[in-house]
Amino acid sequence: MAEIKAAEAHTPVMLKECLELLAPALERPGAIMIDCTLGMGGHTEAVLKAFPEVTVYGIDRDPQAIELASARLAPFGERFQAVHATYDQVYEVAQKAGGHVDAVLMDLGVSSLQLDMVERGFSYSRDAQLDMRMDPTQGPSAADFLNTASAKEISQVLWRYGEEKNANRIAQKIVAVRAEKPLTRTAELVEVIREALPQAAMRKGGNPAKRSFQAIRIKVNGELDILEAALPAALKSLNDGGRLVVEAYQSLEDRLVKQTFKTITTVDVPADLPFIPESAQPDFKLITRGAQRPSDQELAENPRSAPVRLRAVERLSSNPDQKTEGNRK
């Protein structure tokens, strides 16, 4: 199948850096990793090749991604297990994997599979059905949202998730256009956005529909809500010495990851305290100082890597529910 060949040719973003960050946790005998965003299976394939004793549970909400990645990873047999779910269920997956796990990887945002398959409706540069659902079998599509939401709600979504300065103008234009004919195609939405924007906004910042498409996609898929629930669930899933590695591609995601990591690695005691009690020591430490960025070579070879921010933390102390059951299950 052409899709499988495309998946096999796909190179994951910052793969070398991800493997280096995961290595201390995955070099343990019988280590288990959860890939929260399986996609086409590129990260998982690299992990399974680099660490011959590792088992990976790959989560994805997209049935097509599950199918393609499973075909790609079939040679690894039972060392790979696919899970059709949203990745805020990472703790439940860890329990099914035998308890707590040694590493969790999150490669956030829309996948290359979804972007490259025109009919999925994620791209503003090619016409398709106005869908944008990561799981096309579940929930309302982008068209459903845009044709039923109020102008105020649409404006709030465009501003909150896309930081679109002209959110209100675009929302009002969408409501006016749909009164004549419902929006059903991505090209129609792009044209509406172009007509709504002032000329000054059209001359900078790349494609004028980029921010709106991002915002609508995030809304339709509940991406930030899922990430907000998934981060503590992933941290709860880790063994001592386990690592959480996250790649974020837009500022809202990265801000949430950065704040979560800061909170769990900061000592919360008075500044004048002469010593830090053991009970106040943080449960995690930062592995990356700030965010790692792609190399110049990777940027040249894969322009889609440009926005990525890579961060990682490691668990230091035992999970509360591990203390009576042993460090590893």
For 92-108, the pLDDT digits (tens) are: 999 999 889 999 999 99
Query: Is 291 inside a domain boundary?
Result: yes
Within this chain, do residues 103 and 8 fall inside the same structural domain, yes or no? yes
Q: Give the pLDDT of residue 85.
A: 95
139 marked among binding-site residues: no
72-88 mean pLDDT: 96
Q: Is 124 annotated as a binding residue?
A: no
Residue 212 shares a structural domain with residue 242: no
Q: Please check whether residues 14 and 93 belong to one and the same domain.
A: yes
Are 88 and 236 in a shared domain?
yes
Classify residue 328: in a domain, yes or no: no
Q: Are residues 20 and 94 in the same domain?
A: yes
pTM attached to this predicted model = 0.87
**Shared-domain flag, residues 109 and 227:** yes
Report, as an integer, the average pLDDT of 131-158.
95
- Alpha helices, DSSP H only, in the chain? 2-9, 15-26, 42-50, 63-73, 90-96, 112-116, 142-148, 151-162, 167-180, 186-196, 199-202, 210-221, 223-236, 251-265, 296-301
Higher pLDDT pick, 199 / 140 = 140
Domain annotation covers residue 166: yes
Question: What's the pLDDT at 192?
Answer: 96
* 280: pLDDT strictly greater than 70: no
Domain count, the chain: 2
Mean pLDDT lowest among 1-15, 179-193, 302-316: 1-15
Domain-embedded: residue 124: yes
**CA angle 236-237-240, nearest 5°?**
90
Of 119, 236, 220, the residue nearest 162 (C-alpha): 220
- The answer to whether residues 158 and 303 belong to one domain is no
- Is 281 labelled a binding residue? no
Among the residue ranges 16-20, 90-94, 191-195, 323-327, the one predicted with the least confidence is: 323-327
> Is 165 contained in some domain?
yes
CATH for 176: 1.10.150.170
pLDDT at 278: 64
Under the banding of pLDDT at 50, 70 and 90, the label for residue 234 is very high
- Does residue 27 have a pLDDT over 80? yes
> What percentage of the chain has pLDDT greater than the value 70?
86
CA 24 – CA 316 distance, rounded (Å): 13
Identify the domain boundary among 172, 195, 221.
221
Which carries the bigger pLDDT value, residue 283 or residue 235?
235
233 plus 261 within the same structural domain: yes
CATH number of the domain residue 35 falls in: 3.40.50.150
Q: Is 95 annotated as a binding residue?
A: no
Is the model's pLDDT at 2 over the cut of 50? no
Residues 202 and 57 in one domain: no
The chain-wide mean pLDDT, for the chain, equals 88
- The annotation status of 107 as a binding-site residue, yes or no, is yes
Tell which of 221, 252, 268 closes a domain.
Answer: 221
Residue 327 in domain: no
The 3-state secondary structure of 228-286, one letter per residue: HHHHHHHHHCEEEEEEEEEEECCHHHHHHHHHHHHHHHCCCCCCCCCCCCHHHCCCEEE
**For 243-252, how does the pLDDT look when each residue is reduced to its tens digit (9 = 90+)?**
999 999 999 9
Q: How large is the average pLDDT for residues 304-324?
A: 76
pLDDT computed for residue 276 by the predictor: 64
- 140 and 129 both lie in a single domain: yes
Final residue before a domain boundary, out of 192, 221, 250: 221
Residues 230 and 265 in one domain: yes
pLDDT band at 305 (very low <50, low <70, confident <90, very high): confident
Give the rounded percent of residues in the chain with a pLDDT score beyond 90: 72
* Whether residue 134 has pLDDT greater than 80: yes
Most confident of 95-99, 253-257, 304-308, 316-320: 253-257
| pLDDT at site 117 | 72
- Show the domain range for 131: 114-221
Position 244 in a domain: yes
Q: Which amino acid is at 166?
A: N
Asked if residue 135 belongs to a known ligand binding site, the reply is no
Task: State residue 272's pLDDT score.
Answer: 59
Is 41 labelled as part of a ligand binding site? yes
If asked whether residues 277 and 308 sit together in one domain, one would say yes
